[in-house]
Amino acid sequence: MTEKRKLRSTQWFGTPDKYGFYARSWMRNQGTPPDMFDGRPVIGICNTWSELTPCNGHLRGLAEHVRRGVLVAGGLPLEFPVMSLGETLVRPTAMMYRNQVSMDVEETLRANPIDGVILLAGCDKTTPALLMGAASVDLPTILVSGGPMLNGRYRGKQLGSGTDVIRYAEALQTGKMTTSEFLDLEAGNSRSAGSCMTMGTASTMASLSEAMGIALVQNAATPAVDSRRAALAEAAGRRIVDLVKDDVRMSQIVTKAALENAIIVNGAIGGSTNAVVHLIALAGRLGVDLTLDDWDRLGREVPCLLNLMPSGQYLMEDFYYAGGLPALMREVLPLLNCEAMTVSGRTIAAQVETAECFDRDVIRTLDAPFKDQGGIAVLRGNLAPGGAVIKPSAASPALMKHRGRAVVFEDMKDFKARIDDPDLAIEATSVMVLKNGGPIGYPGMPEVGNLVLPRKLLEQGVTDMVRISDSRMSGTAFGTVVLHVAPEAAVGGPLALVRDGDMIELDVAARRLHLDISDAEMERRRAAWRPREPHFERGYGRMFIDNVLQADRGVDFGFLIGASGHPVPDKSA
């Protein structure tokens, strides 16, 4: 064993006793040459590949490019699986299992001879889950996203995953499209490997990872099937070996300044509201104080520069050809913490200073933005004392200040049973309220907040209404939708007390969400409120509902706040 800086892995592979014998001998049964245990960095390749997660179905191949990069740089790559989450298949919602995946990552990293890690993520919950787990261990880390799929195509038009499905589903519901035509969309919607090519949560989190500096340049938008995605993966494999040698840990990259940059960039790209809970949870693992107030403060003056669905017209493939995230970040450099470091070894400013924009219809400028309001707005009031969020760039300007009569649905079962009832007392000015869609109430806080409008109103040409819930919505969705109301209805938050006919006031400019009843009436209703029976009696589901925090605290488990680092566990006897 040559003398080098002592790595974690040498405490497994670098000793001449029986414990070193066990570790080396069993690894050699895979054909690993003995000189691979000469003290070189061991790089974990944390892979969320799964055939049950279509967005991540190509990550097995991408891991081979990472492996090659690690080997070229003199490291020992060891790939390992963790639970994978696909929003399209997992029920009741992938969000319920984000924390479980983070625990899988954390414990695998800490328990094994790993000196640094490449995180391979794709579908939206896999990115925050892997980052949260890695943050709790704090090893040198680089995230590599699987990338967006190619633009959808349907009858000569571009088709955006999620966003256009919502639009065409409404057309189907009102008879403007036939079932046969709707089913024809399937082939054109997902025509290559990769995640949603709209600015859904997958593309948002890939973008914010690049903005935070924990991913390499062009991680956000390079298409999944573009050869440059494979080259990026190999470059990450090479770079992680250097980070280990220099002991550059995740906490040195994902700082408060980096998280603030991510919030600013989220506004500039018209990013998903889901980023709010994910970044707050990530910050909690790192011991960084990040709150809803930071989101509102930093996003308030940020315009949306990116003309991309659901806020705009184009898709991720177009974004990449226009210059990608570096070109957009160069436009907002005056707003960023420019000295924040990245895994490339350069500051954010140095990393994007030469970036060029090749299509000004896709990426606009600060002086001439695509939309004036890009950041996430945080609302407060007697209906959301813990806060709620809305995405102005995806909302209708005419509804940003609104007063309307509440039409209340107790849960999604109630909503589905009554929304298309011709006798439902609802009109375009009504405010749709969904209860029990939060972390505990659903459980898991699903993406149901962008409630489908009643058929009878769709047939009248109504395209948007104010909708309020304690749930989330897909980053691909749009509308004047108030989300993440905290505390949620299931724990007796004010949302639980709303009744049909109550007047609700929304004023986004004033950051106000108000239920127009007296304090005395509020207290009377609260005294009469009773909680529902828990959804689970055992297992992970019960652990989830017993330990999950509210939306304003990132929907993480309370016992996971903070980090435990990467001490080497004791040997067994």
pLDDT of residue 4: 56
pLDDT of residue 573: 56
Closest CA to 469 of 501, 503, 434: 434
Closest CA to 212 of 256, 267, 272: 256
**In this structure, is the dihedral angle defined by the CA atoms of residues 361, 367, 371 and 374, taken in order, positive or negative?**
positive
Characterize the bridge pairing of strands 157-159 and 42-47: unpaired
pLDDT of residue 2: 40
Closest CA to 557 of 294, 291, 212, 277: 277
Contact 321, 358 (CB under 8 A): yes
Q: How far apart are CA 251 and CA 257, in angstroms?
A: 11
SS3 514: strand
Q: How far apart are CA 70 and CA 311, in angstroms?
A: 39
Q: At which residue do the structure tokens 């350069």 appear?
A: 346
pLDDT (tens, 9 = 90+) of the chain, 573 residues, equals: 344 578 999 999 999 999 999 999 999 999 999 999 999 999 999 999 999 999 999 999 999 999 999 999 999 999 999 999 998 999 999 999 999 999 999 999 999 999 999 999 999 999 999 999 999 999 999 999 999 999 999 888 899 988 888 888 888 888 889 998 888 888 889 999 999 999 999 999 999 999 999 999 999 999 999 999 999 999 999 999 999 999 999 999 999 999 999 999 999 999 999 999 999 999 999 999 999 999 999 999 899 999 999 999 999 999 999 999 999 999 999 999 999 999 999 999 999 999 999 999 999 999 999 999 999 999 999 999 999 999 999 999 999 999 999 999 999 999 999 999 999 999 999 999 999 999 999 999 999 999 999 999 999 999 999 999 999 999 989 999 999 999 999 999 999 999 999 999 999 999 999 999 999 999 999 999 999 999 999 999 999 999 999 999 999 999 999 988 999 988 765
Phi, psi of 229 (to 5 degrees): -70, -45
Closest CA to 445 of 395, 497, 490, 479: 490
pLDDT of residue 168: 86
Q: Where in the chain is the domain with CATH 3.50.30.80?
A: 377-532
Q: Which fold has domain 377-532?
A: Glucose Oxidase; domain 1 (3.50.30)
Tell me the pTM: 0.96
Alpha carbon separation from 97 to 45, 138, 532 (Å, rounded): 21, 21, 22
SS3 378: strand
Alpha carbon separation from 567 to 83, 106, 141, 283 (Å, rounded): 24, 12, 16, 21
pLDDT of residue 186: 83
**Helix residue ranges per DSSP H, 300-366:** 316-321, 324-331, 348-352
Phi, psi of 406 (to 5 degrees): -75, 135
Phi, psi of 115 (to 5 degrees): -100, -25
Closest CA to 197 of 161, 235, 225, 163: 161
pLDDT of residue 3: 46
Q: What is the pLDDT of residues 83-100, one digit of tens each?
A: 999 989 999 999 999 999
Q: Which residues contact 505 (CB under 8 A, 6 or more apart)?
A: 381, 402, 403, 512, 513, 514, 516
Q: How far apart are CA 534 and CA 565, in angstroms?
A: 34
